[in-house]
Structure 1
């Protein structure tokens, strides 16, 4: 218990600033430069360029800070969820009772962390479709210019040039880059974009294919080719790209995004160009096969021509026979017009004799019109006489009635005269029209010829489609009792009556399949 007199004995008394300074000196003295292993969380970069994060393990968490000048020198880019080993020193704040790790260097905590990070990036980029097979493009058969992106100091460039000179010498456009360490990924991505942006008509030739190559190394050495910026640059390259990173057993993410993967830089050069010696050998072989095929075609053609020549008929005899036929046809053609004209003339005369005479028809029409005119005049006069007799028989009416009767009679006379005049005019008009009608004999004859030819054609078609011609040749038409044709034996019932029509008559028969034939004898057909 503290003393009752209010004193604190020999316990020292410190100010807040003194305590904070003492803690800071103790931490910086005891933990000068240390390495801390943990998983990055809460990583954030502020506009000032400084980055703040936390590192944690199973039970604890420590705050960390990366100053702007140190961030650009780190070989590993900080990412949340990545297990790293941070190298730096512990420092404490003078104003607050907290401490943090000032990171000066970052490295992955073993290959397991690297592989986990690579796999995570691979899955994310694969989900975006950057590794789809449909994006892969075929390599040019014989490129004019080959772009190479690699280090100019290693043996990779020498191997590629030696292989190209051996197989098929081509122009090489080199962009030297760092293939590992800080900034290597950005240089490789920029080199790929630079080659893709070259113009085909520019001073610097545009490559037809790009080789991104690097020799073998550890997983950390190859990490530049697992970075997202390199993978996206390879996927976006407008020029077909061959990746040749590491040895045959090494696999990087650029291999998934490239159009072709080569196990070694030498194999990449072999993929880029064909072997000139192999091409010459293949060309010579194809030339030999083509020459043999041409000789074979010629030999087969000569053989077919010889066989055809032996099978040809005697051409002079064919020509002589054709000439004889031509002379015979010419002689027959000279006689045929006269015979045809005579036959047509006889047919025309026979037809003209049966034609009606227009003059007689006109005269008959005129006589009928004259008779009608006489009958009309007589009928008018008879009507007038009957009216006069009726009027004469009437008693003498008053003077007014007699005047009206005279007017009615005059009107009837005038109407009869008008009817007679109209009839005479119609008679004259019809006579004039009949006199203008031309002689129809030639037109009727031509029409008769046309109709007779059409009738002969229809008769020939009817005879061709008629079944009666088949009956004359021995065939028979089978019909049932209703008169319908029977075309199949399966449609006939046992005991059914059938009609068989022949060319000279019809027979009625009955299907006797229902009766069994007598022993030793055959079934006989019953004719009715």
Structure 2
């Protein structure tokens, strides 16, 4: 008999059904609508499973535009749908992804629209450290594939930053360690951006702080840091998880300022360390990386200054050594002058003997001459000279006559000489034409060749410029030059 011709009633008995459903006497099982049975199921499931914790692997994770999170939890044999409302999804400490094993806490309910049951998730946590590490490795691989951890993206740290930005908690021991270490090594300006370093909202605050430092403009009221330190003390992987968030990693990678990551202890590693330009094992080590030791710098400067002085003095020292070596090779001054001194002594002796010999010879010659210069002989020669002078007849009267004749012959010349003065005609209105250098000009052609002329009048000189194109003057008759008077012939012959 076909199974669709039977139904199961309260008496657990089969009976044949008709074409049209009819109510039978004593039947208290009234038919339910689909909505009624769905609501009954919903109340039953929610009452029975009002609080459950499920462990499974996430699958089909997606976020709606409203902010709600939809997913499925599965194991190797079954699947259950899940939904997490916007408020709970925003409080998640990690980013849900497919394949992550989680423990979801919530309540079971049904969705009448599809006759399906699902879990409304209130909290979601990663199921154990192994699952957390798997999620971390998966995120690291994805970000590494984008090139955020590439070595060629790393920038060199500034050697001596003037201002250092620190992103950390303002109340922890980390900031005190950094400030103390900076003060010991090289005091620098420090800007602290206070943030949460763990818990809800910590990742967003850290990312905003890193981007905020990059947004500071140079020359503004707040100095722009030359270096940024992202620091946090040690803790478990859950405590450090905020620095593994993608938003923090991208903010550090996109920073326009070199970043040192100092999160946790030396054995702790976060994705922020991979994205930063330099990783420090501890916050104190980050401060040591940020600035050099001031005392060491001063020592290096002193050493360089000493080397500079040595380099400057090295040529002088070498020159002195070379000079001393050459001086040692030179002969002694006494040895150089010894031969000349000996020759001088020899010549001095020869001169002395020569003078003595010459004096002796001249003495003999003088004696010979003195023998001829006797007094009677000198008197005789004087007498002969007096007689010759007497025969000449040279008297003062004869000399006076000759002077008178010479004066008479020069008198006409003396009278004519003033008339020959070239400036005498200037008194009668004539002018004298000269060159600029003072040479007299006698012809028109000579004056025309000169650019500047000087005309001398009776009362002074006048500088003029020679005119061009003037008609030539008519020739002037020249007067016969008077003959120069000749002195009268001497009526007496020359005495000598």
Whole-Å separation in 2 of the counterparts to 1:295 and 1:307: 18
What do residues 180-209 of structure 1 show as CA deviations (whole Å, max 9, x unaligned)?
122222221111111112111111100000
Q: Distance in 2 between matches of 1:241 and 1:298?
A: 49
Indicate yes or no: 2:275 matched with 1:257: yes
Q: Using a 3 Å threshold, how does the CA distance of structure 1 residues 96 and 119 change in structure 2: closer, same or farther?
A: closer
| Aligned pair partner of 2:173 in 152, 155, 178 | 155
Structure 2 vs 1, CA of residues 8 and 113 (structure 1 numbering), >3 Å: closer, same or farther? farther
Equivalent residue, structure 1, for 2:262: 244
Structure 1 residues 252 and 302: CA distance shift in structure 2, 3 A: same
Pairing 1:285-300 to 2, within 5 Å after superposition:
285-291=303-309, 297-300=315-318
Unaligned runs of 5+ residues in structure 2 are 1-12, 19-23, 337-496
Aligned 8 A contact 2:57 2:101 in 1:
yes
Shift of 1:94: 4.2
| Corresponding position of 1:88 | 106
1:142 aligns with 2:160: yes
Q: CA deviation at 1:250?
A: 0.2
Q: Which residue of 1 aligns with 2:205?
A: 187
CA deviation digits over 1:63-92, x for unaligned, max 9?
Answer: 011122322222222222222111111112
For residue 19 of structure 1, report the CA deviation from its aligned partner: 2.6
1:42–1:197 Cα change, 3 Å: same
TM-score, with structure 1 as normaliser:
0.56
Partner of 1:101: 119
Residue of structure 1 equivalent to 2:298: 280
What is the CA-CA distance between 1:259 and the residue it aligns to? 1.0
Q: Does 1:50 align with 2:62?
A: no
3-state secondary structure, aligned to 2:14: coil
Indicate whether 1:20 and 2:38 are aligned.
Answer: yes
Mapped pair 1:301 → 2:335: no
**Residues 218-229 of structure 1: pairs in structure 2 closer than 5 A:** 218-229=236-247
1:50-69 alignment, distance < 5 Å: 50-69=68-87
Q: What per-residue deviation string (whole Å, max 9, x for no partner) do you get for residues 342-383 of structure 1?
A: xxxxxxxxxxxxxxxxxxxxxxxxxxxxxxxxxxxxxxxxxx
Contact kept, 8 Å, 2:103 with 2:124, in 1: the verdict is yes
Task: Please say if residues 168 and 274 of structure 1, whose CA atoms lie closer than 8 Å, have aligned partners that are also in contact.
Answer: yes
Q: Any idea what SS the aligned residue of 1:49 has?
A: coil
Q: Give per-residue Cα distances to partners, 1:430-458, cap 9 Å, x unaligned.
A: xxxxxxxxxxxxxxxxxxxxxxxxxxxxx
1:20/1:193 CA distance change after superposition, 3 Å: same
Please give the alpha-carbon distance, in whole angstroms, between the structure 2 residues aligned to 1:272 and 1:240.
10
Secondary structure of residue in 1 paired with 2:228: strand
Report the count of equivalent residues.
316
Q: Which has the higher helix share?
A: 1
Q: CA deviation at 1:38?
A: 1.2
Q: Which has the larger radius of gyration?
A: 2
**Of the candidates 140, 150, 160, which is equivalent to residue 132 of structure 1?**
150
1:459-496 CA-to-partner distances (Å, cap 9, x unmatched) read xxxxxxxxxxxxxxxxxxxxxxxxxxxxxxxxxxxxxx
The structure-2 alpha-carbon separation of the partners of 1:5 and 1:95, relative to structure 1 and needing over 3 Å to count, comes to closer
Moved more, 303-312 or 196-205: 303-312
Aligned pairs (5 A) from 1:437-452: none
Change (3 A) 1:13 1:134: same
- Corresponding residue for 2:130? 112
SS in 1 for 2:66: coil
SS in 2 for 1:90: strand
Equivalent residue runs for 1:66-85 within 5 Å: 66-85=84-103
Alignment match, 1:360: none
DSSP-derived class of the 1:166 partner = helix
**TM-score computed with the length of structure 2 as normaliser:** 0.59
Q: Distance in 2 between matches of 1:30 and 1:86?
A: 18
Task: Choose from 232, 238, 247 the match for 1:214.
Answer: 232
The answer to whether structure 1 residue 170 and structure 2 residue 182 are counterparts is no
Q: Is 1:235–2:253 an aligned residue pair? A: yes
State the alpha-carbon separation in 2 of the partners of residues 221 and 54 from structure 1: 27
Against the structure 1 CA distance between its residues 8 and 117, is the aligned structure 2 distance closer, same or farther, given a 3 Å change threshold? Answer: farther
1:54/1:61 contact within 8 Å kept: yes
Inter-CA distance 144–107: structure 2 relative to 1 (3 Å threshold): same
Mark the CA change 1:286 to 1:55 in structure 2 (over 3 Å): closer, same or farther: same
Q: Is the 8 A contact 1:2 1:8 kept in 2?
A: no
Kindly state the Cα deviation for residue 122 of structure 1 after the two structures are TM-superposed: 1.6
- How do 1:430-509 residues align onto structure 2 when only pairs under 5 Å count? none
The verdict on how the C-alpha distance between 1:10 and 1:301 changes in structure 2, with shifts beyond 3 A counting, is farther
The alpha-carbon distance between structure 1 residues 144 and 52, as it changes in their structure 2 partners (threshold 3 A), is same
CA-based RMSD of the aligned residues comes to: 2.6
1:2 maps onto 2:20 in alignment: no
- CA apart distance, 1:299: 2.5
